[in-house]
Structure 1
Amino acid sequence: MAFLIAAGLFGAGSYFYKVAVVPAPKSFLSKPQKITHSNPLYPAHEWYQHVNKKRWYEVSATRHLILDANYIPASKATTKSVLIAHGFMGNKDKMFSYAYMFHQLGYNVLLPDARGHGDSQGNYIGYGWPDRLDYVKWIKKLIATNGQNSKIVMFGTSMGGAATMMVSGVKNVPRQVEAYVEDCGYTDVYDEVAYQAKELYHLPKFPLVGIVSLINHVKNGYSFKEASALNQVKKNQRPMLFIHGAKDHFVPTRMVYSLYRVDKGPKQLLIVPGAGHADSYQKQPKLYEATVKTFLEKYVK
């Protein structure tokens, strides 16, 4: 009987490992909307389709994967650059609206594909944890390209928001990183996967999430508890803007309060009324742009 129970749990864990960690279309993710003339993001979409994009490549910090990115120079020469990190099962091209916003603010824009996403190599979703070290390599590439006087902002939404916070706690992040902006990132991977198991499948976190985490640790070298934005942001002392939708039911809004509370650097919190997950910019574009602009003008001179 014990063997059958163990086999059943392992089977369930293997199934949910594929759901949570293997890059593939996910039925629980909303389908991307078509950008029409009436969509407020249409100008950004059109700009992104036609702007000159340079292809950059980098080797991942572990496993020697070839990573892919688009680099868009600012309209006028500048030392200011932003690295934009996309979300779970997203890619660089889906971040066009944020690229446009930062381009309008006068920044060079770098849009990498995370491991296992877009045009980057990889057969697993890192949830920002192994990716944090990849992003540090991208940051160093920006500095090598644009000079030691570079002023760099890291920005991300959802998984990219978590990755942004995870980078903030990496030891010896280049001094040129002057600020972070995270939008709807989670506290840690364990809490987020446990939340989704309950919301989507009505399953308790014990023992399933622990089993999936163990499989992930064996295959990919990190546990879900280890992959903690909360623990990383505790180490941060640089400016960080936290953004979250008031009606986020994918990464619950409550998570941002815990993250904001433990951050040690200059900080600001924006809760966007009526916004769902990764929907804050589209829901309140003027508020979003004004808040980001004012925050960065204060800390990125």
Structure 2
Amino acid sequence: MSPSHPARVWNLISVCLLLLALSGCGFGTRYVFYSSRDVQSTPDRAGMAYEEVWFPSADGVQLHGWYVPAESPGPLVVFFHGNAANITHRVLNLHYLHNLGLPVFIFDYRGYGASQGRPLQERDLYRDAQGALAWLRQRGWSPERMIYFGRSLGAAVALEMALKQPPAGLVLECPFTSLRDIAWEMTPFTYVLVGWWSIDARFDNLAKIARLSRPLLMVHGDRDRVIPHEMSLRLFARAPDPKSLLLVPGAGHSDAHQVGGDSYRTAWINFIDRIYKSKFSHNLTGQQP
């Protein structure tokens, strides 16, 4: 079986870094981000009404996002997507959460999708996330009524925001321990030759997660070929209570919501129920997309 698209991306990044090292060129975080501007789909194609949003990052870069409302009141899911994609690649995920009865806000980091600019440093993504949360506050959404949902690279952004602006709860799907661990896991030879230990982007989730002060739900497919599920086990062991972990048998890097079936859906509903003591969860439908 051929490797998944995210796996090919990580391999491509490693090769590029190797070539840069052999040519004597310096490198930095700018070579880590694999952004995409192609348009895959939009919420209306999946039958969802949505609002197209433009807002500034914390340092003034114009960013693009979607706000997908829900009929029932409930916590807002703030979706931090991963690398090698943009929000138009995540319509199926939006549809799943929308069918649960949850409103969702998703946005593109600078250089991804229709957002302006280009990410050059780790903190650029954090500035983008801060801008998104500031826009949501202007719309009346306080962090106490939000669930931060981060996937893959987005898990690092969601965790950083959970430490700075704590939400009601945090959901991390296929998170990694650190960028350096991913580099070692994918291409140990390149890690040593290029010197990944010197790169300025760390995304060190393992060092941060012990400081989390909000409930945590972690999800990972046990056949993830991009980020090994053992990384979630290490993160989960270090995270403080309350916390829960769902390992989805047979799921890869991007299909836990499809492969997980009832267990995935129940994990979300139970998580929100524990946070809000049934205030919102009785409105969640739990329907299949």
Decide: shared fold, TM above 0.5: yes
Q: Is the CA contact 1:21–1:126 (under 8 Å) kept in the aligned structure 2?
A: no
CA positional deviation for 1:24:
5.8
For the pair 1:110 / 2:118, whether they are aligned, the reply is: no
Please name the residue that 1:71 is paired with. Answer: 67
Gaps of 5+ in 2: 1-18, 280-289
Indicate the residue corresponding to 2:6 in structure 1: none
Counterpart position of 1:142 = 136
Query: Contact 1:87/1:158 (CA < 8 Å) preserved in 2?
Result: yes
Gaps of 5+ in 1: 1-6, 26-31, 36-44, 214-222
Larger relative contact order (Cα-Cα within 8 Å, sequence gap ≥ 6)? 2
Residues 149 and 271 of structure 1: CA distance in aligned 2, closer, same or farther (over 3 Å): closer
CA distance in 2, matches of 1:105, 1:146: 22
The counterpart of 1:187, out of the listed 177, 180, 185, is 177
Note the alpha carbon deviations across 1:183-239, whole angstroms, 9 max, x for none.
Answer: 0011112222332333xxxx24124143771xxxxxxxxx123x2122221210100
Q: What is the TM-score normalised by the length of structure 2?
A: 0.77
- Distance apart, 1:113 and its partner CA: 0.7
Q: Please, what TM-score do these two structures have when normalized by structure 1?
A: 0.74
Partner of 1:178: 168
| Equivalent residues of 2:53, 2:66 under 8 A apart | yes
Alignment of 1:252-291 (within 5 A): 252-291=228-267
Q: Which residue of 1 aligns with 2:51?
A: 54
Q: Give distance in 1, aligned partners of 2:29 and 2:260.
A: 35
Q: Give the C-alpha shift of residue 8 in structure 1.
A: 7.5
Q: Which residue of 2 aligns with 1:38?
A: none
Q: 1, 6, 9: which one pairs with 2:21?
A: 9
Counterpart code for 2:67? Y
Residue 132 of structure 1 aligns with an amino acid whose one-letter code is: Y
**Alpha-carbon RMSD:** 3.1
Q: What is the alpha-carbon distance in structure 1 between the residues aligned to residue 80 and residue 141 of structure 2?
A: 22
Percent identity, aligned pairs only?
A: 22
Cα displacement string for residues 150-171 of structure 1 (whole angstroms, at most 9, x for unaligned residues):
610011211112222222222x
Read off the aligned partner of 1:196 and give its amino acid letter: M
- The structure-2 alpha-carbon separation of the partners of 1:147 and 1:280, relative to structure 1 and needing over 3 Å to count, comes to closer
Which residue pairs with 1:224 in the alignment? Answer: 201
* Number of matched pairs: 258
Give 1:236's aligned residue: 212
1:296 aligns with 2:286: no
- The answer for the alignment partner of 1:101 in structure 2 is 96
Query: For 2:231 and 2:25, how far apart are their aligned partners in 1?
Result: 25
**Relative to structure 1, is the Cα distance of residues 209 and 297 closer, same or farther in structure 2, using a 3 angstrom cutoff?**
farther
